[in-house]
């Protein structure tokens, strides 16, 4: 079976080749186990609904906090797309980003342009979605404690659902013979 690679490696060409191979492997596993994946797919749908419920608030936090930020997190932080991200996108049949993130190496993330992240929110890494920085937290506090609590609750729910989705997927594919 093709090994799955997520942690960024050194050469860009090597990273992109591994990315393609990883995606093909996940796609193949889903194709071969479609009849056993109803639970994982239902959880992925639930995650999708939860995510969509917080996107307007996250967009608002970006709008009020990010344009004046002196230290853009999409340049200085090192995050990457993980297996749960990729599995989620495949299960809800979303287009897959062309490659792993490359931010953090004193270079902007490949998906950052002058207007912000070019990836639709649904196919941004979870690490990017759940990151609410100190400035954004201050803005959130001003919006109100109920909204703040609701966001934290939803983020925790999605974290748990992502684990459940992965668990159900692993259970479903555990007896697959991939050559
Ligand atoms: S999320 Fe926070 S750290 Fe990142 S660009 Fe916006 S204000 Fe800056
Ligand atoms: S994927 Fe988008 S949000 Fe995440 S680091 Fe890259 S530009 Fe920023």
Domain ranges of the chain: 12-173
Q: What is the pLDDT of residue 159?
A: 98
Q: For residues 52, 57, 58 and 59, what is the CA-based torsion angle, rounded to 10 degrees?
A: 100
Q: What is the pLDDT of residue 105?
A: 63
Inform me whether the pLDDT recorded for 72 exceeds 80.
yes
- Given the CA of residue 128, which atom of ligand 2 is nearest to it? 4
- Band the pLDDT of 44: cuts 50, 70, 90: very high
Residues 63-77: what's their mean pLDDT?
A: 90
In a mutational test of the pocket of ligand 2, which residue from 8, 55, 73, 74 has the highest number of ligand atoms less than 8 Å from its CB? 74
Report CA(111)–ligand 1 centroid distance (Å).
15
Encode the chain in three state secondary structure: CCCCCCCCCCCHHHHHHHHHHHHHHHHHHHHHCHHHCHHHHHHHHHHHHHHHHHHHHHHHHHHHHHHHCCCCHHHHCCCCCCHHHHHHHHHCCCCCCCCCCCCCCCCCCCCEECCEECCCHHHCCHHHHCCCCHHHHHHHHHHCHHHHHHHHHHHHHHHHHHHHHHHHHHHHHCCCCCC
Q: What are the φ/ψ torsions at residue 117 (nearest 5 degrees)?
A: -75, 130
Inform me whether the pLDDT recorded for 34 exceeds 80.
yes
Q: Give the mean pLDDT of the chain.
A: 89
For the stretch 145-168, pLDDT in tens is 999 999 999 999 999 999 999 999
* Ligand index nearest the alpha carbon of residue 74: 2
In a mutational test of the pocket of ligand 2, which residue from 79, 100, 109, 132 has the highest number of ligand atoms less than 8 Å from its CB? 109
- When comparing pLDDT for 101 and 43, which is higher? 43
Q: Which of 15-29, 36-50, 59-73, 106-120 has the highest mean pLDDT?
A: 36-50
Rg of the chain over all Cα atoms, to the nearest angstrom: 17
Report CA(117)–ligand 2 centroid distance (Å).
5
Please name the residue whose Cα sits nearest to atom 4 of ligand 2. Answer: 128
Please name the residue whose Cα sits nearest to atom 2 of ligand 2. Answer: 117
Q: What is the pLDDT of residue 104?
A: 58
- Given the CA of residue 66, which atom of ligand 1 is nearest to it? 6
- Band the pLDDT of 179: cuts 50, 70, 90: low
- How far apart are alpha carbons 15 and 11 in whole angstroms? 6
For the stretch 164-174, pLDDT in tens is 999 999 999 98
Please name the residue whose Cα sits nearest to atom 6 of ligand 1. Answer: 66
For the stretch 104-138, pLDDT in tens is 566 789 899 888 999 999 999 999 999 999 999 99
* Ligand index nearest the alpha carbon of residue 134: 1
Nearest Cα neighbor of 154 from 49, 44, 40 is 49
């Amino acid at each position: 079976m093709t090994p799955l690679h997520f942690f960024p490696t050194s050469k860009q060409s090597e990273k992109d080749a591994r990315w393609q191979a990883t995606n093909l492997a996940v796609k193949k596993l889903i194709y071969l186990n479609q009849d056993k994946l109803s639970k994982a797919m239902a959880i992925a749908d639930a995650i999708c609904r939860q995510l969509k419920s917080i996107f307007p608030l996250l967009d608002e936090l970006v709008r009020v906090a990010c344009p004046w930020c002196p230290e853009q997190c999409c340049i200085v932080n090192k995050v990457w797309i993980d297996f749960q991200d990729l599995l989620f996108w495949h299960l809800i049949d979303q287009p897959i980003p062309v490659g792993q993130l490359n931010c953090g190496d004193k270079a902007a993330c490949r998906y950052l342009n002058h207007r912000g992240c070019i990836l639709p929110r649904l196919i941004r890494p979870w690490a990017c979605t759940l990151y609410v920085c100190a400035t954004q937290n201050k803005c959130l506090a001003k919006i109100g404690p109920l909204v703040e609590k609701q966001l934290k609750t939803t983020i925790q729910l999605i974290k748990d659902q992502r684990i459940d989705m992965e668990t159900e997927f692993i259970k479903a594919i555990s007896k697959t013979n991939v050559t």
